[in-house]
Amino acid sequence: MATYRVLVSDPISEKGVEALAAAPGISVDVNTGLKPEELLKIIGDYHGLVVRSETKVTPEVLAAAKNLKAIGRAGVGVDNIDRKAATDHGVIVMNTPTGNTISTAEHAFTLMLSAARNIGPAHSAVLKGDFKAARKAYQGIELNTKRLAVLGMGRIGTEFAKRAQAFNMTVVAYDPFLTQARADELKVELAKTPDEALKGADVVTLHVPLTPETNRLINADRLALMNKGALVINCARGGLVDEVALKEAIESGHIAGAGLDVFEVEPPPNDHPLFTLNKHVVYTPHLGASTNEAQENVGIQVAEQLRDFFVTGEIKNAINMPSLDAATRAAVGPYLDLAAALGKLLAKLGPENPDALRVSYHGPLATKDTGLVSRTALMALLEASRPDGQVNIVNAPAIATQLGLDVTESTINAKTEFNELVVVELKKGDVRYRVAGTLIGQSPRIVEIDKLYVDCNIAGRFLFVENDDRPGIVGVIGTALGNAGVNIANMGLARTSDRTRALTVIEVDSEPPASLLDLLKSTPGIVKVITLEL
């Protein structure tokens, strides 16, 4: 059994490490706090990497990670992992989206309460002996009946909103994926834009991922839309808030204060502009997910996901490719093998430098999740012209885009002679070349090559001979193979209905020598001879 080496480069729970180390064929090294240059030196030895947010998985790290197959993020945000570089290098990135939801929502809620009631500065004042002065200085804000804007109504935003409703706050939410029906179910007002949510809000809480679109989501103009004396809570990502604009809005008195768990640069510098403020502010060092419960959840989840990926091929919570659970993997397994054979066949028989690949599904298969089947056909097509290991299931679509190969998938309701059919077609200008296969029982078969009906195994050594449909050709081929000592395992004949073209598909037991191929190619009536190992 292959041994996969996994590096855990940020601290995760002991139970997670144990779960991973106990899996067959997996060995684990825990090596946290590595400097970037140290990580670069060792990453080439590993097949799997487990991180939290400290390890930065940069394009340089991915370029050095020659054996890396999967990265597991023990947490939600994957902004510390260069997703494009991972995909280009064919590395699956998985996160553990649910394990820290409650802890983070609770932490964000704590920040709101603490900012409203000056818990941080008041606590420090008590320790400094300023008890009496602090009683005067730290008048709080009541949250009851206040208007809360939630930006990002996903897992954490929803949990925050529920808690705010228990505090009798009115909740308005903005999220491009929030439907009116879901908003009604959650009893929140649905805002159509962030501005609409912020207008007249007393508190805003952020629960969106950091992306180019959400960078500085909260800026000076948006702060100005909020009510005077409002609070800003950020337990998502630092870059979501323009920190300078926030400081100015607090100093001007328009915004009362902020509760921040995250900063644009982490750790923030000691002279960070927001650190001079001392009312209605509370800062924590990215602690949203730091509870025993959350860390155990994400540590175990990430370990199980990596283990299942290496041991059974199951893909869960991947952010750069479709998921594939064990049951679906088993159900589509034979089609994956079929798709790989069809892709390989097309690479050999179809037009060179094609501009489009189309994968279509007929019959009940069309109702299944076929994303991975199509990817497999594409991968096999691309693999044929690239050295081993350059193309895989993760980076195949990105490579196709680089090549200008348009890949489409469709389902077709038209009846065929087969209960189910997978058709893979390669197009170059007006030239189209298609191959198709089906499952007979659980056994994948190739049933069509360029509109000729065949019945061919998906594994083995083959000789494809295109010839004129006239007497004697099969005899010539058989004699030539016999003379060359190449045994025929299987043979099938197909021809067009107008008898202009015929195809002889021969499964052979050994590699046909070049002299045999030359002889066949020079035989009158034989148009094309191709060998292929599927």
Ligand X SMILES: O=C(O)CC[C@@H](O)C(=O)O
Q: Catalytic positions, please? A: 237, 266, 286
Asked if 51 and 80 touch (Cβ cutoff 8 Å), the reply is yes
Residue 67: C-alpha distances to residues 351, 391, 501 (Å)? 33, 13, 47
Query: Distance between CA atoms of 180 and 191, rounded to whole angstroms?
Result: 10
CB of 288 to ligand X, least distance (A): 6
DSSP string for 391-417: --TTTHHHHHHHHT-EEEEEEE-S--S
Q: What, of ligand NAD, ligand X, none, does residue 463 touch, CB below 5 to 8 Å by kind?
A: none
- Residue 97 or 343: the one with the smaller Cβ distance to ligand NAD is 97
Asked if 6 and 48 touch (Cβ cutoff 8 Å), the reply is yes
- Residue 290 or 531: the one with the smaller Cβ distance to ligand X is 290
Q: What, of ligand X, ligand NAD, none, does residue 157 touch, CB below 5 to 8 Å by kind?
A: ligand NAD
Q: What, of ligand NAD, ligand X, none, does residue 273 touch, CB below 5 to 8 Å by kind?
A: none
Q: What is the token pair recorded at 267? A: 């750790």
Q: What is the DSSP letter of 34?
A: -
CB of 16 to ligand X, least distance (A): 12
Containing 131, the helix (H) or strand (E) segment is helix 131-137
Q: What, of ligand X, ligand NAD, none, does residue 512 touch, CB below 5 to 8 Å by kind?
A: none
CB atoms inside a 10 Å sphere around CB 212: 6
- Residue 289 or 477: the one with the smaller Cβ distance to ligand X is 289
* Strands in 36-166 per DSSP E: 48-51, 70-73, 92-95, 147-151
Q: What, of ligand NAD, ligand X, none, does residue 52 touch, CB below 5 to 8 Å by kind?
A: ligand X
- Residue 237 or 375: the one with the smaller Cβ distance to ligand X is 237
CB atoms inside a 10 Å sphere around CB 287: 15
Across the beta sheet with 526-533, what order do the strands follow? 488-495, 502-508, 461-467, 526-533
* Residues in CB range of 8: below 8 A, 6 or more apart: 17, 20, 28, 29, 30, 31, 32, 50
CB of 184 to ligand NAD, least distance (A): 17
Q: What, of ligand X, ligand NAD, none, does residue 343 touch, CB below 5 to 8 Å by kind?
A: none
Helix 101-116 to helix 119-127 angle, to the nearest 10 degrees? 70
- Residue 237 or 247: the one with the smaller Cβ distance to ligand X is 237
CB of 17 to ligand X, least distance (A): 15
Query: Distance between CA atoms of 534 and 517, rounded to whole angstroms?
Result: 18
Q: What, of ligand NAD, ligand X, none, does residue 155 touch, CB below 5 to 8 Å by kind?
A: ligand NAD
CB of 358 to ligand NAD, least distance (A): 31
Tokens 């009893």, residue?
Answer: 187
- Residue 191 or 255: the one with the smaller Cβ distance to ligand NAD is 191
Helix 326-349 to helix 371-383 angle, to the nearest 10 degrees? 40
Q: What, of ligand NAD, ligand X, none, does residue 151 touch, CB below 5 to 8 Å by kind?
A: ligand NAD
Q: What, of ligand X, ligand NAD, none, does residue 376 touch, CB below 5 to 8 Å by kind?
A: none
> Hey, what amino acid is at 480?
A
Q: What is the token pair recorded at 507? A: 């499964």
Strands 48-51 and 4-8: parallel
CB of 18 to ligand NAD, least distance (A): 24
* Residues in CB range of 270: below 8 A, 6 or more apart: none
CB of 9 to ligand X, least distance (A): 12
- Residue 48 or 99: the one with the smaller Cβ distance to ligand X is 99
CB of 12 to ligand X, least distance (A): 9
Q: What is the token pair recorded at 344? A: 């390989």
Give residues in contact with ligand X (CB under 6 A).
52-53, 75-77, 100, 286, 288-290
CB of 170 to ligand NAD, least distance (A): 19
Q: What is the token pair recorded at 386? A: 């690239």
Q: Residue with CB nearest ligand X?
A: 75
Q: What is the token pair recorded at 7? A: 């590096």
Q: What, of ligand X, ligand NAD, none, does residue 177 touch, CB below 5 to 8 Å by kind?
A: ligand NAD
Asked if 436 and 454 touch (Cβ cutoff 8 Å), the reply is no
Across the beta sheet with 26-30, what order do the strands follow? 26-30, 4-8, 48-51, 70-73, 92-95
* Residues in CB range of 66: below 8 A, 6 or more apart: 44
- Residue 98 or 252: the one with the smaller Cβ distance to ligand X is 98
Query: Distance between CA atoms of 210 and 198, rounded to whole angstroms?
Result: 19
- Residue 32 or 416: the one with the smaller Cβ distance to ligand X is 32
Q: Residue with CB nearest ligand NAD?
A: 154
- Residue 16 or 397: the one with the smaller Cβ distance to ligand X is 16
CB atoms inside a 10 Å sphere around CB 215: 14
CB of 108 to ligand X, least distance (A): 12
Give residues in contact with ligand NAD (CB under 6 A).
75-77, 97, 100-101, 104, 151-157, 174-177, 207-209, 213-214, 235-237, 261-262, 286, 288-289
